[in-house]
Structure 1
Amino acid sequence: MRKILLTYCLLIFSLGHAQQESMFNHYMFNTQIFNPGYVGSSQSYSFNLIQRNQWVGFDGAPVLQAISFSTPVESKRLAYGFTAISDKIGPIRNNSFAGDLAYHLLLNDNNRVLSLGLKVSLNSFNLDNEGLNLNQSGDPLFYAESVGFKPNIGTGIYYYTEKFYAGLSTPFFFENSELRQNRHFYLTSGFLISISRNFKLRPSGIIKMTSGAPVNLDFSNLFIYKDQFWLGANIRSTYRDLFPNQNTGGGFGAIFGVNVSNSFMVSYAYSYSLGNKTGVYNNGTHEIILRYNLRQVAKALIDSPRYF
C-alpha cells in the first residue's frame, strides 16, 4: 500500500507541474547532454556513460541513464555526436535520442574558441498504467499511456580557453504538452586555478531556468591533485535562497574521481536533498560517470590538457 501511495504521489507531482529536465551532479564533465556546442571540445573520440539513482530506498524513485559520444572531424572545426537518455520516475518513462553538431571558431592566437551547436532530438513519453493498479481508469490523466517519438531541436554556444569556459543553451526549443516538455535554458561557467605544481582548483556553476518552476542554481568546487585525483563538494539551491533549506529545497553533495589512465576516468557523486517529504524514506542520491577518450583525432585547437 505504501508503495502504491508513494508512486501515485510521484505521478501526480510529475503530471501536475512543469516538467524539469534532470540535473546532473557531474554536469561539468558532460555538458553535451544539454549544450551541443560542447561537442568536439576535447578533440578526441569521447564516450560518456552516466548512471543516476535518486532517493535510493524510495519506492518509484527516479532512475536515469545517459550515454553520449562525440568526435571532431579531420578539419577540427566541425564536430558531431549523439546522446541517449532514459529517465524513469515511478510508472513514467521519458526517452530522448539526439544528434549533435558543432562548429568551432578560433577567435585569435591566444587559444580562445567559440563553438556554435545544434541538437536534433526525438523524445517519447510512456505511462505504465498497469503498474499503477489504482482503479483510476476514469481519470483523463491515465488515458494517454504513451506518446510516440516527437522531434525537437536545440541550440547552444560554448566559449572555452585553456582555463575557462562558459555556455548558454536550450536543448529543447519547442514545448510539447503531450510530452510534458518545457523549454529550458542553461547557463554554465567554470575555470581552473593553479595553486601549485601538484594542486589545482576547479570551481564551476550552472543555472537552470524554465517557466513554471523555480530557477535552480548549482555550484561545485573540485580540488585536483596531480591531474589524477579530485575531491570536491557541490551545493544546489534556488535563486531565492543561495543556501539550501527546508522551505525552498536544494541540497548538498560530494564528488570524488580519478583518471585511471590517460584515456579513462571515473567519478562518483553523492547528494542529499532538503525541503521535500521524501527525505524521511531515502538514503540520498548516487551518481557515477565513466568517460573514455580513444585518441586525438586532429591537432587540438587548444594545445593543453583539457579539464572541461
Structure 2
Amino acid sequence: MKHLTRILVLLLLFVFAGMDTWAQQFPISSHYTVNPYALNPAFAGANNRSEFYMNYRKDWSSIAGSPQTYRINGNRKVYNNMYVGGEIMADFADIFYRLKMGLSYTYRVQLATDQYLSFGLAGHFYQSVIRLDQVNADFDDPIFRNLDRLFKSSYNAGFGLVYNRDNLYLGFGMPVMMRTQDAYLNLSEGTFAFERAYDFYAGNRYQLDSRWEVQPAFVLRKTLNQPVIMDFSAMFIYDKQYWLGGLYRNTSLFGLTVGGQLTNRMMLNYTYEIGVGGIHSQSGGTHEITLGFRREKEDARSIRSRTKTKNSANISKQKQQKETKLKKDKITREREKTQRYKKKKTYLRRTRTSTKLPKYAPYENFK
C-alpha cells in the first residue's frame, strides 16, 4: 500500500508540476545547452569535431521513486561533410521503464563562405515496460486486470534541419516523425502511444570583449495534443574555457548552469532546476550533470590533402637542395678555374721579369 501511495504521488506530480517529463513523451533535458546534438541530429559536426557525452538527470530529488534518466550520445565526421551519431537513453520512474536507442546520419552543405545547411535523419528503437511485480496491490482490481500492454517495443524516426551562419544557428526538428497506431485509440488502450513532436531552436554567440562571450538561445517544443514548452537561456563564456548560465522554462521553472573545460578534450557541466510555487516547492529540485569528451577530427580528404601538401613540400625541398648543390659545385669549379688561371699568369709574369743578362751586349759597348 505504501508503494501504491508513492505511485499516486508521482502521478500527481506529473499532472500538477508542469508535466515536464511525460507531457512531451520523453524526459525534457537541459543537456542541449552544451550538446545541441541531443536536441537535433542535424547539429552533428556543428563544432567541427568528434564529440561523446554522458549525461545523468534526477528529477524531483526529494521524492522517492522520482524519474531519473541516463544518456550517452556522440557524433563524429566520417568523410568530408558526412557525420554519423548514436544515442542510448534509459529512463526510470518507479515502476515505469523506457529505453531508447538510435543512430543518425547528417550531411552538411556549404551555401556560401560562412553559411551552412545541415540535414539529419535518425532511426530509433523504443522499449517500454511497466513493472507490475514491484506493485504491492490486488491484481483482481480491474485497473490491472484490463491492462494488457505491460511491455512493448516499437520503432520511429526523427528528422532535423539546421542553418548556420557564423555564430548564428537556426534549427527545426521532428524527434518523433510517425504517429503510432496506439495514438489513435482511447487513453485506456493507448498505453505506449507516440504522438508527432516538433522542436525549434534559435541561438547566437556574441563577443562582449577579448575574453567574454554571451550565448543566448531559445527552444520551443511541441507534441500533438500537449502544451507548448519553451526555454529561454543565456550562457556567459569566459576565455572559451568556463561558463555560467541561466534558464527559464514556461512551466514556472528556473535553472542555473555552470561548467568548464577540465582539459583540452574534456568538459564538465552541471545544471540545477527548481520550480516556483505549488508542489514545486516540495520537489527538491532537479539535478543534471554532463561529462563530455571532444576531439578535433580530420576527414580522409583532409588527411590526403595534408599528406599531399607535405610530400610536395618535401619534393620542393629536395629539388631546392639539389639546385643549391649544383650552384655550389659550379661556383667551386669556377673558383678552381680562376685559381689555375691566376697561377699561370703569375708564372708568365715571373718569367718575363727574369734578371738574366742578355746574350749580346748593347751596341755602345763595342765602340
TM-score bucket of the superposed structures, by smaller chain? 0.7 to 0.9
Give the equivalent residue in structure 1 for 2:64: 59
Alignment-mate amino acid for residue 253 of structure 2: G
- Contact between 2:77 and 2:297, CA under 8 Å: does it hold in 1? no
Alignment-mate amino acid for residue 106 of structure 1: Q
Q: Deviations over 1:119-176 (max 9, x none)?
A: 111111100011122224431564322112x111111101123311111001111123
How far the C-alpha of 1:6 sits from its partner, in A, is 2.7
Identity in percent = 23
Give the equivalent residue in structure 1 for 2:34: 29
Structure showing greater relative contact order (alpha-carbon pairs closer than 8 Å, 6 or more residues apart): 1
Specify which structure has the higher proportion of strand.
1
Q: Using the alignment, how far apart are the partners of 2:23 and 2:261 within structure 1?
A: 38
How far the C-alpha of 1:13 sits from its partner, in A, is 7.6
Pick from 120, 125, 128: which aligns with 1:125? 128
Instruction: Tell whether 2:165 aligns with 1:161.
Output: yes
Q: Using the alignment, how far apart are the partners of 1:104 and 1:89 within structure 2?
A: 38
- Which secondary structure state, in structure 1, belongs to the residue aligned with residue 103 of structure 2? strand
Give the equivalent residue in structure 1 for 2:116: 113
Give the equivalent residue in structure 2 for 1:73: 78
Give the equivalent residue in structure 2 for 1:93: 97
Greater shift, 27-36 or 99-108, is seen at: 27-36
Give the equivalent residue in structure 2 for 1:195: 208
Q: Using the alignment, how far apart are the partners of 1:257 and 1:12 within structure 2?
A: 33
Greater shift, 268-277 or 9-18, is seen at: 9-18
Quote the RMSD (CA, aligned, Å).
Answer: 2.2
- TM, length-normalised to structure 1: 0.85
- TM, length-normalised to structure 2: 0.72
Q: Deviations over 1:51-79 (max 9, x none)?
A: 0001002022110111112111132x111
Unaligned runs of 5+ in 1: 238-248, 300-308
How far the C-alpha of 1:12 sits from its partner, in A, is 8.0
Give the equivalent residue in structure 2 for 1:245: none
Give the equivalent residue in structure 1 for 2:10: 10
Q: Using the alignment, how far apart are the partners of 1:179 and 1:80 within structure 2?
A: 29
Give the equivalent residue in structure 2 for 1:104: 108
How far the C-alpha of 1:274 sits from its partner, in A, is 3.4
Residues 13/268 of structure 1: CA separation in 2 closer, same or farther (3 Å cut): closer
How far the C-alpha of 1:115 sits from its partner, in A, is 0.2
- Contact between 1:7 and 1:132, CA under 8 Å: does it hold in 2? no
How far the C-alpha of 1:232 sits from its partner, in A, is 1.2
Q: Using the alignment, how far apart are the partners of 1:114 and 1:226 within structure 2?
A: 28
Residues 183/14 of structure 1: CA separation in 2 closer, same or farther (3 Å cut): farther
Specify which structure has the higher proportion of helix.
2
- Which secondary structure state, in structure 2, belongs to the residue aligned with residue 139 of structure 1? helix
Q: Deviations over 1:13-63 (max 9, x none)?
A: 869985532221222222223311112222222101110001002022110
Q: Deviations over 1:198-238 (max 9, x none)?
A: 1111111100001222101111111111111111111000x
Compare CA radii of gyration and give the structure with the larger one.
2
Unaligned runs of 5+ in 2: 183-190, 303-367
Give the equivalent residue in structure 2 for 1:241: none
Q: Deviations over 1:255-287 (max 9, x none)?
A: 00001122111110000123553532x310000
- Contact between 2:13 and 2:279, CA under 8 Å: does it hold in 1? no
Instruction: Tell whether 2:279 aligns with 1:266.
Output: no
Q: Using the alignment, how far apart are the partners of 2:223 and 2:278 within structure 1?
A: 20
Give the equivalent residue in structure 1 for 2:326: none
- Which secondary structure state, in structure 1, belongs to the residue aligned with residue 31 of structure 2? coil
- Contact between 1:100 and 1:118, CA under 8 Å: does it hold in 2? yes
Instruction: Tell whether 2:300 aligns with 1:277.
Output: no
- Contact between 2:100 and 2:127, CA under 8 Å: does it hold in 1? yes
Count of paired positions: 284
Residues 13/283 of structure 1: CA separation in 2 closer, same or farther (3 Å cut): closer
The aligned runs of 1:159-238 (5 Å cut-off) are 159-176=163-180, 177=182, 178-237=191-250
Residues 56/227 of structure 1: CA separation in 2 closer, same or farther (3 Å cut): same
Q: Using the alignment, how far apart are the partners of 1:103 and 1:85 within structure 2?
A: 24
Q: Using the alignment, how far apart are the partners of 1:226 and 1:295 within structure 2?
A: 19
Residues 18/288 of structure 1: CA separation in 2 closer, same or farther (3 Å cut): closer
